[in-house]
């Protein structure tokens, strides 16, 4: 089995300073918001979310309805057999006024993580997109913050490939996915 993008980058996603209950709550929130977003992107009805989650979804919808022209795929599992990794990108879409394919990763944290650059670069590689960005959704439903990492794609993908090489070295005798 090939490692996932998330697994490869996990050594650099340190959550040790966050209380376990807070981390679990944030993970549940992120999962629920991602499910609602994927449902909406596919043109399906989305039931109301819990109040603490609804603002993130409203933030997404505010951006999506204003800027997205069409959706290519959502939450699709993709594998790169050349480099030997797989991933589950949030969305591949096209933005109004551009023919470029955009890899989008929806985020609920308020601050940028360094791991997002190589993560979105790896997903961009998997999708063949022309651009890669994280969309930081706001809890209050306001317009989200767009972090466009497209200008550093080559450097960021090289970083991911280096992390992948390190992961493979230390896991060469294991059968992990």
Q: What is the CATH number of the domain that holds 66?
A: 3.90.320
Checking DSSP bridges between strand 101-107 and strand 131-136, what pairing results, if any? parallel
Q: What percent of the chain has pLDDT over 90?
A: 80
pLDDT at 24: 87
Q: What is the mean pLDDT of residues 85-113?
A: 94
- Under DSSP, is residue 85 helix (H, G, I), strand (E, B) or coil? strand
Inside any domain, residue 158: yes
Question: Buried b / exposed e across 23-43, counting CB within 10 Å, b at 16+?
Answer: eeeeeebbebbbebbbbbbee
**What is the model's pTM?**
0.92
Task: Let me know if residue 2 belongs to a domain.
Answer: no
- Whether the per-residue pLDDT at 176 is higher than 60: the answer is no
> Does residue 176 form part of some domain?
no
Q: How many domains does the chain have?
A: 1
Query: What mean pLDDT is predicted for residues 96-108?
Result: 95
């Amino acid at each position: 089995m090939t490692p996932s993008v998330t697994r490869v980058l996990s050594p650099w996603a340190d959550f040790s300073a966050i209380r376990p209950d807070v981390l679990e709550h944030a993970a549940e929130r992120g999962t629920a918001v991602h499910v609602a977003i994927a449902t909406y992107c596919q043109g399906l009805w989305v039931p109301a979310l819990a109040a603490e989650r609804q603002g993130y979804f409203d933030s997404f919808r505010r951006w999506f309805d204003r800027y997205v022209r069409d959706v290519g795929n959502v939450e699709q599992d993709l594998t790169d057999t050349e480099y030997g990794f797989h991933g589950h990108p949030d969305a591949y879409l096209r933005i109004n006024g551009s023919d470029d394919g955009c890899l989008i990763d929806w985020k609920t944290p308020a601050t940028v993580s360094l791991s997002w650059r190589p993560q979105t670069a790896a997903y961009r590689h998997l999708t063949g997109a022309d651009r890669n960005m994280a969309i930081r959704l706001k809890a209050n439903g306001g317009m989200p913050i767009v972090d466009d990492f497209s200008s550093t794609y080559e450097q960021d993908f090289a970083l991911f490939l280096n992390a992948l090489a390190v992961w493979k070295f230390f896991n060469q005798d294991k059968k992990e996915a």
